[in-house]
Structure 1
Amino acid sequence: MPTAKPAHLVMIGGKSPRQHIWEAIRAVNAGPKELTTYAVARKSGQDDQTVRAYFRDMEQAGIVSKVRNVSRFDAEWRLLKDEGVEAPRVTRGGKVSKYAAGAENIWRALRILGEFSAAEAATAASVNGVSISEIGAHVYLTGLAQAGYLTRSGGTPGVKTRFRLIPSRYSGPKHPIYQRDFKQVYDPNLDQVVWRKSDQEVAE
């Protein structure tokens, strides 16, 4: 049995189709209904073809397995790995991005170390088979800084930007999720979007 994580935690606003599908998968899996392509498509509000494609990619990645074909276009599935709130980033060939795991490790390291550069964050986060690039770490840390979790210093020629955790903004063990495509940060500890770039632009 996969380790269950609270299925009621969902992202608020600005979700990608795969995020909608993933949340539906977790919700259906936690209920009495069979986890089928059809049930997830109806629950998520996404078209059947998009849902089938995501299931196919996750099957190749070992996140789900097919139990049986219900019909030509429908199938029953078993969830093998509950990856938590953030939808697994899976390529068409079944390759899983380690970005989410890297961000989780950065958040954990911030709690312990308090301050580091993107390069140091990437090194600290690249453990236990997880790796994140310096650029990826910089993007994540910048997102947290924009949301008010971190302060920034440096960033001048020859001086790398350093990021420091604001102790009062540590909200819990689950890493805040920077949704780069939507320019917003969702905090699963608070179950809410805590920052949107669009809101900031309106305020300015």
Structure 2
Amino acid sequence: MVGGKSPRQHIWEAIRAVNASPKELTTYAVARKSQQDDQAVRAYFRDMEKAGIVSKVRNVGRLDAEWTLLKDEGVEAPSISRSGKVSKYAGGAENIWRALRILGEFSAAEAAAAASVNGVSISEFGAQVYLSGLAKAGYLTRSGGTPGVKTRFRLIPSRYTGPKHPIYQRDFNQVYDPNLDQVVWRKADQEVAE
């Protein structure tokens, strides 16, 4: 893998490593091996359980549990929503990032159409949210957006950091760039500076 790894990628790699000894596949063991927050590990296990990737064997104390890996999804961490559905948003965002590099500029509707290939789809709204997040982080410029004129987004060539798409984390109001392995923009930092 080029660049940094997401927290869930670290967790997934730890699950696969710890799974060699099934009785040791616990939330605690995975959190220690992955060096990720216990709560984040519990949340990922919860989401994967809903998706049928893992199954809880038993609770071990109040905050720990023993798990069984039902489906090894390969080296890439499964992208799963809180409801346990395989998220297509990440694939859509990845395709938008790739299309930006090739096409340079488009509207959210054009981005959604360009990104909806190979079984991946993203709505115009999803594309708008992702592109707006990248614009906030300084990867894109915006033009238009007046009545009757759709907003267009253009990649700033010097902001292309590599093949992995920057991740707009709406829950945290930040953008993480796995190519740089760092959070490159936080709304909270912007508010402090103002």
Mark the CA change 1:199 to 1:71 in structure 2 (over 3 Å): closer, same or farther. closer
For 1:89, which of 80, 98, 105 is the aligned residue? 80
SS in 1 for 2:38: coil
**Matches of 1:50 and 1:178, distance apart in 2:** 19
Of all paired residues, the percent bearing the same amino acid is 61
**Matches of 1:49 and 1:171, distance apart in 2:** 31
Aligned residue-pair number: 183
Maintained 8 Å contact 1:57/1:90: no
Asked if residue 27 in structure 1 is aligned to residue 14 in structure 2, the reply is yes
Cα shift at 1:75: 2.8
What is the 5 A alignment of 1:84-163? 84=77, 88-92=79-83, 94-163=84-153
**Matches of 1:7 and 1:147, distance apart in 2:** 18
Residue 9 of structure 1: aligned partner: 5
Normalised TM-score (structure 1): 0.76
Cα shift at 1:56: 1.2
Alignment gaps of 5+ in structure 2: none
Asked if residue 192 in structure 1 is aligned to residue 182 in structure 2, the reply is yes
Mark the CA change 1:82 to 1:57 in structure 2 (over 3 Å): closer, same or farther. farther
What is the 5 A alignment of 1:58-77? 58=51, 60=52, 64=53, 73-77=65-69
Mark the CA change 1:52 to 1:170 in structure 2 (over 3 Å): closer, same or farther. closer
Mark the CA change 1:120 to 1:110 in structure 2 (over 3 Å): closer, same or farther. same
Asked if residue 46 in structure 1 is aligned to residue 25 in structure 2, the reply is no
Maintained 8 Å contact 1:152/1:162: yes
For 2:26, which of 20, 37, 50 is the aligned residue? 37
SS in 2 for 1:80: coil
**Matches of 2:14 and 2:108, distance apart in 1:** 35
Mark the CA change 1:167 to 1:70 in structure 2 (over 3 Å): closer, same or farther. same
Please list every run of at least 4 consecutive aligned residues from structure 1 whose deviation after the TM superposition is greater than 3 angstroms.
5-8, 30-35, 41-45, 47-52, 68-73, 81-84
**Matches of 2:105 and 2:99, distance apart in 1:** 9
Normalised TM-score (structure 2): 0.79
Cα shift at 1:30: 4.7
Residue 15 of structure 1: aligned partner: none
Alignment gaps of 5+ in structure 1: 12-18
Mark the CA change 1:50 to 1:156 in structure 2 (over 3 Å): closer, same or farther. closer
